[in-house]
Amino acid sequence: MATTTAAAEAADAAGGEREPVLSVRDLRVWYGTERGPVRAVDGVTFDVRPGETLGLVGESGCGKSTLGRGVLGLTPTGTALSGVVDFKGTNLVGLPPKRLQKLRGPDLGLIFQEPMTRLNPLMKISEHFEEALRTHERKLSKTAIRERALEALRGMGIPPSRYNSYPHEFSGGMRQRIMIALALVLRPAFVVADEPTTALDVLVEAQIIKILADLRKNFDTALVLITHNLGIVAEACDRVAVMYAGHIVEQGDAREVFANPQHPYTKELLRSTISLSTTGLHYIPGSPPDLGRPLEGCRFAARCPVAMRGCEEHEPPEVVLAGGVRSACWHQALEADPSLGEELGKDGREPLAVKEISVADEA
Ligand SMILES: Nc1ncnc2c1ncn2[C@@H]1O[C@H](COP(=O)(O)OP(=O)(O)OP(=O)(O)O)[C@@H](O)[C@H]1O
C-alpha cells in the first residue's frame, strides 16, 4: 500500500476525512448513435480524495473508459453528458471547452494505454516536455523546464542521458513511463489512468504500479485507475468501484471489498479471477446487456445466481453497509430495511429462475 502524505496524516490526526478533490454525482454519458443513445454511463456517483487511488473494475464494455473520459470532458462530439463532476468547486459538466482545456494538464491528467499514438515521433522527448510545460507554465525558464522534466523522468527510471532521444528509440515500457512522466510533470491534482499497463510485461507493469502508488507520496495526486487486473487493484488501490452495465454496483475500501464482497456481481467477478487456489476456471454465464436499449430493474438480474423476481423490474437502491461499503443489490437493501420489500410486490422475493445459457445461445 502507498505511503501517507503529511497532509493526509494531518487530516487523520484532526480526526476527519479530507475533502474530495473530485465529486461525481449522478453522471450520465450517453453516446449518440444512429440506432439511438448508448447509455454507457448511466447515473454514477463517487468521490475521490487527495492522495487516494480508486480502482475502477468490471467486464469489457461496462463503461469504465467512458466514465474516465467523461469526468475529464474528453468524450467524442455528439455525446450527451449530465450530472455533476465537481472538481475543487467547479462543475466540469457543461464547462466551455476552452476552460476545460486550461484545466487539462496542470489540474486534470489522463494516462492512455498506447503511448505511441500520443507521442509525436518527430519530436524529441525534451521537446514534448518543453511543449507541455510552456503551454501551462509560461514563466518557466529553459533551465527550469529541463530540471522539472529530468526530475519527472528520473522518477520513472528514465536516465537524463536519454532526454534528447526520439520516441522510437525507447522500448514500449519506457515509452509508457515517459507518457506518465509527461502527465505528471505538471503535477495535476487528479489523474485518470486507463489500462496503463495492459500492453506491458509483468516486470514493467509492477514498476508502473509502484510509480503510480508513489504518486500519493510525492504529489498528493488523486488517481482513478481503470484496469481489468483485480490483482493490481488489490495491491495499488485504496478504494475500488465495481462497474456493471453503466452503473457502479459496489464501491468501498479495496481490502474490505476483496475480503468480503457484497454485490453478487462483485462475488462473481472475484470468482472469475485466477489465483493460486483456483481449482477450475469460473466464468459468468451470459454477457452484459445491450446499453443501446432502455434497461430497467437490476441490470445484473439475468445473470445473477441469487436474483429474485422483483429484481428484474425494480432498480435496487444503494445502501451503505458496515465499513462504509456501498452496494446496490436488493438482498442488502432488504437486510438494511425490510420495509423496502413492499416495492418488490407480492412474488417479488421469489427466486428468479436464471435461464441456463448454452454455448449455442452465446454464439
Ligand atoms: N464512440 C462510441 N460510440 C458509441 N458507443 C460507444 C462509443 N465508445 C464506446 N461505446 C460503447 O459504450 C459502452 C461502454 O464502452 P467502454 O469502452 O466505456 O467500456 P469499458 O468498460 O471501458 O470496456 P473495455 O474494458 O473493453 O475497455 C460499450 O457498449 C461500447 O460499445
Provide the pLDDT for residue 2: 37
Nearest Cα neighbor of 191 from 48, 89, 88, 94 is: 48
Provide the pLDDT for residue 184: 84
CA distance 141 to 147: 10
Taking 70 as the threshold, does the pLDDT of residue 362 lie above it?
no
pLDDT, one tens digit per residue, over 257-287 is 999 999 999 999 998 875 555 556 677 888 9
The residues spanned by each domain of the chain are 1-107+188-259, 121-180, 298-362
**216 C-beta closer than 6 A to ligand 1:** no
pLDDT, one tens digit per residue, over 37-78 is 999 999 999 999 999 999 999 999 999 999 999 999 999 999
Residue written as cell 468521490? 47
Q: Whose CA is nearest to atom 3 of ligand 1?
A: 31
Measured in angstroms, how far is the CA atom of residue 356 from the centroid of ligand 1?
27
Which residues 6+ apart lie within 8 Å of 130 measured at CB?
A: 142, 145, 149
Measured in angstroms, how far is the CA atom of residue 291 from the centroid of ligand 1?
9
**64 C-beta closer than 6 A to ligand 1:** yes
**Percentage helix, strand, coil, to 5, in the chain?**
40, 20, 40
From 148-157, 186-195, 208-217, 331-340, the region with the lowest mean pLDDT: 208-217
Q: Whose CA is nearest to atom 12 of ligand 1?
A: 40
Q: In 3-state terms, what secondary structure has residue 243?
A: strand
Measured in angstroms, how far is the CA atom of residue 61 from the centroid of ligand 1?
5
**248 C-beta closer than 6 A to ligand 1:** no
Which atom of ligand 1 is least distant from the CA of 69? 18
DSSP string computed for 129-174:
HHHHHHHH-TT--HHHHHHHHHHHHHHTT--GGGTT--GGGS-HHH
* Mean model confidence pLDDT for the chain: 87
Measured in angstroms, how far is the CA atom of residue 246 from the centroid of ligand 1?
10
Largest distance between two CA atoms of the chain: 74
Task: Give the phi and the psi of residue 20 in degrees, each rounded to 5.
Answer: -60, 145
178, HSE (Cβ side, Cα atoms, 13 Å) = 31
Nearest Cα neighbor of 297 from 286, 308, 285 is: 308
CA distance 263 to 326: 9
Q: Whose CA is nearest to atom 30 of ligand 1?
A: 61
Measured in angstroms, how far is the CA atom of residue 65 from the centroid of ligand 1?
7
Taking residues 335-345, what's their average pLDDT? 89
Taking residues 17-46, what's their average pLDDT? 95
pLDDT, one tens digit per residue, over 303-327 is 999 999 999 999 999 999 988 999 9
**33 C-beta closer than 6 A to ligand 1:** yes
Measured in angstroms, how far is the CA atom of residue 175 from the centroid of ligand 1?
25
Hey, what's the cell of 236? 495499488
Q: Which letter does DSSP use for residue 18 in this model?
A: P
Specify the CATH class of 1-107+188-259 in words: alpha beta
CA 132 to chain centre: 24
